[in-house]
Amino acid sequence: MADANTEKFQHFVAKMQLKRFIDAKKWLHVWNRHVGKVMPQRHNKTFGETHLYSTENEAGEKDTWFEKRLNALETAAEPLLKKIEDAARLGMAPTFNEAEKAMLDRFFYTQWKRVPDFLGQAASLKGSEALDEIFAELRARHPDQLDRLAELDTPESRKRLMQGGKVQGLAVDSARILSLFARRGLVILQLPDEGDGFIIGSMPVVRTGQSLEDEDGEAWLPITPRLAIGPGMAEGTITLAKFDPAALEEFNRIVANQSTMFGGPDPAQIEKLGKWVLARKQAKAAEDDDAAS
């Protein structure tokens, strides 16, 4: 059923996570590649899109069932993030029972796959090709329904079907990946209280090239400017580890480079990273021009 009371602007990074990256005046300083500068924004008005996860029926009615599912997951995960913060403040690792650890794994996994920067253009192209095959097969099987199929095979209908397919795909959890997370435990990386911190990006997970099935494979999700979480090495083991501030700039550059937008509480830090992204883009364009000439 359509829900007219649900907010149209739907976040791809959870509001409860974004609010952990605001400054003392409650501003999140955001660099957007499409704008090319830092903008102060409220955490509940950024890192989202209109009806990003809504589906639509043939009458044009919106259904926000998946957004509600995400909200429920975020509500369940928030006290777990606070538990991590509280324990880390004391220099300790938190304790989670099996259900809490499974919920945290689902939050990490969902935050990884739900963002548009992860879904990417390739998914849209693949979806269009899949619809071509489906309609071709339907026409071959039902030659008596060609008029009805023509009504369905329109740009508007394709857009609606692809959106529905995307949302349905996001709604299905991978048992293999969640089982992998469960086996690998949890590591919490902690920065010193002073100095630059982790940033949050529209593609927030930083990972190495290795598969997470490899013991050297890593994936990290910043949850505050001082803390990031990722799969550990041993099942059930939860550890707190110090993160070397000397490695922070490279970490944040990975987030900035892979994200359409990124932000944090310090506008100077975000401005510096934004200028690095622009310089890198300009250098790449110059290399392409040289190669083409």
**The pLDDT value given to residue 6:** 53
What pLDDT shows up at residue 124? 45
3-class SS string, 85-133: HHHHHCCCCCCCCHHHHHHHHHHHHHHHHCCHHHHHHHHHHHHHHHHHH
* Model pLDDT, residue 122: 39
16 or 177, which is more confident?
16
Q: Summarize the confidence of residues 72-90 as an average pLDDT.
A: 97
Mean pLDDT for 43-52 is 92
242: DSSP letter: E
Instruction: Report which of residues 124 and 277 the model is more confident about.
Output: 277
Question: What is the pLDDT, as a whole number, of residue 184?
Answer: 87
pLDDT of residue 140: 76
Q: What pTM did the predictor assign?
A: 0.82
Q: Are the C-beta atoms of residues 91 and 195 closer than 8 Å to each other?
A: no
More confident residue, 154 or 219: 219
Quote the tokens at residue 190. 């902690």
Residue 65 has pLDDT above 50, yes or no: yes
Of 2 and 36, the one with more pLDDT:
36
pLDDT at 166: 83
Average pLDDT over residues 174-188: 89
